[in-house]
């Protein structure tokens, strides 16, 4: 296998980061549009968000820009989905009680 330059490796990392981070945008848009996150597992998203936070810290400690940027943005998206899930689930439970 041909060795890549450090710049090419970093570009590869940023491209992978772009793809994995933007993969959460459609989910966030869907939650906002439907005003529901009922189908999203709270436990899974909590564990995922903690894992992303740890990857972000790892990126800072190791000085890896692609890891820092991608996980920082992914953390923002996943926490946004978590907040909306908690908000919409709370509203849904309240509405069900009033019926």
Q: Are 2 and 54 in contact (CB under 8 A)?
A: no
Interatomic CA distance for residues 32 and 43, integer angstroms? 20
In a domain, 33, yes or no: no
Six-digit token string for 12: 């590869």
pLDDT digits (tens, 9 = 90+) for 29-52: 999 999 999 889 999 989 999 999
Residues 6+ apart with CB under 8 A from 66: 10, 13, 14, 16, 17, 59
Its pTM surpasses 0.95: no
Q: Which domain holds residue 59?
A: 49-92
Say how many domains are in the chain. Answer: 1
- Residue 32 located in a structural domain: no
CA quadruple 67, 69, 74, 80: dihedral sign: positive
Does some domain include residue 57? yes
User: What pLDDT was estimated at residue 2?
Assistant: 67
Task: Enter the DSSP assignment of 40.
Answer: S
Task: Provide mean pLDDT across the span 73-83.
Answer: 94
At 10, is the pLDDT very low, low, confident or very high (cuts 50, 70, 90)?
confident
């Amino acid at each position: 296998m041909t060795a890549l330059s450090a710049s090419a490796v970093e570009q590869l990392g940023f491209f992978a980061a772009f793809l994995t981070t933007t993969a959460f945008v459609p989910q966030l848009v869907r939650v906002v549009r439907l005003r529901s996150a009922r189908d999203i597992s709270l436990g899974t998203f909590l564990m995922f968000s903690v894992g992303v936070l740890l990857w972000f810290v790892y990126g800072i400690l190791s000085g890896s820009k692609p890891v820092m940027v991608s996980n920082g943005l992914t953390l923002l998206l996943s926490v946004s989905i978590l907040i909306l899930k908690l908000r919409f689930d709370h509203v849904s439970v309240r509405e069900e009680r009033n019926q």
